[in-house]
């Protein structure tokens, strides 16, 4: 929901990166996302796609809060989408996003990539310098400690492959942008 304040150019770029629908629901899951403050956002983004058997989700946060962050988000989301469409696994998707930021000089970004098998509930996760994910079960939210790899765009400083972690089946997960929003 947008306020009466006109959006910044960075915010307009960000809205073009969002998936066609901010929510998606099927028999085994509900996914919903939003970016706030809507008229002044830059950099933070999320994306998802639903294949026949798999839900793919990414949450990314390029450094900065300006047009450069929005452009970095464009490079990052485009690299992730292209890798996903090419059938790349999560580690390869992360590598391509990392390399895209390096190749195009757009700084670095934190993020999480998640792939959930809708038949088994098994999930794979790559955490690239982002805060730990959250899990919701029966109305209770808990932090999921996980290995945190280097952010996208920094592999030249810390050259090692991204780790794909397995997550337990049938757990509700939420990924958050950082910093979390406070009420009021």
- Contact 54/60 with Cβ under 8 angstroms? no
What pLDDT was estimated at residue 37? 66
- Contact 75/60 with Cβ under 8 angstroms? no
| Residue 90 within a domain | yes
**Tens of each residue's pLDDT in the chain, 184 residues:** 455 778 888 888 888 888 888 888 887 777 888 777 666 677 788 999 998 889 999 999 999 878 899 999 999 999 999 999 999 999 999 999 999 999 988 789 999 999 999 888 888 999 999 988 887 777 888 888 889 999 999 988 777 789 999 876 544 444 444 333 333 3
What pLDDT was estimated at residue 182? 30
Cite the beta strand spans of 11-160 per DSSP E. 23-26, 29-32, 45-50, 54-62, 109-117, 123-128, 134-137, 140-143
What pLDDT was estimated at residue 160? 79
What pLDDT was estimated at residue 87? 93
| Residue 64 within a domain | yes
Q: Which domain holds residue 125?
A: 9-17+41-174
User: What letter would DSSP give residue 65?
Assistant: S
Q: Is the peptide bond before 37 cis (omega within 30 degrees of 0)?
A: yes
| Residue 27 within a domain | no
144: exposed, middle or buried (C-beta count within 10 Å: 0-12, 13-18, 19+)? middle
The domain that contains 48 carries what CATH number? 3.60.40.10
What pLDDT was estimated at residue 181? 33
Q: How many domains does the chain have?
A: 1
What pLDDT was estimated at residue 26? 80
- Residue identified by tokens 């959250």 is 134
| Residue 81 within a domain | yes
| Residue 102 within a domain | yes
- Residue identified by tokens 């509930």 is 121
């Amino acid at each position: 929901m947008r306020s009466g304040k006109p959006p910044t150019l960075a915010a307009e770029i960000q809205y073009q990166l969002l998936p066609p629908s901010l929510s998606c629901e099927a028999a085994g899951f509900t996914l919903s996302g939003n970016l706030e403050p809507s008229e002044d956002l830059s950099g933070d983004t999320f994306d998802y796609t639903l294949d026949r058997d798999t839900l793919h989700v990414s949450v990314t946060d390029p450094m900065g809060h300006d047009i450069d962050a929005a452009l970095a988000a464009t490079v990052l989301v485009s690299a992730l989408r292209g890798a996903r469409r090419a059938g790349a696994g999560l580690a390869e998707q992360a590598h391509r996003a990392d390399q895209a930021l390096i190749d195009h000089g757009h700084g670095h970004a934190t993020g999480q990539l998640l792939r959930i098998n809708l038949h088994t509930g098994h999930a794979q996760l790559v955490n690239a310098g982002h805060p730990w994910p959250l899990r919701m079960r029966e109305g209770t939210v808990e932090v999921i400690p996980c290995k945190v790899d280097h952010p996208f765009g920094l592999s030249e400083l810390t050259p090692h492959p991204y780790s794909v972690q397995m997550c337990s089946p049938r757990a509700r997960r939420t990924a958050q942008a950082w910093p979390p929003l406070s009420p009021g």
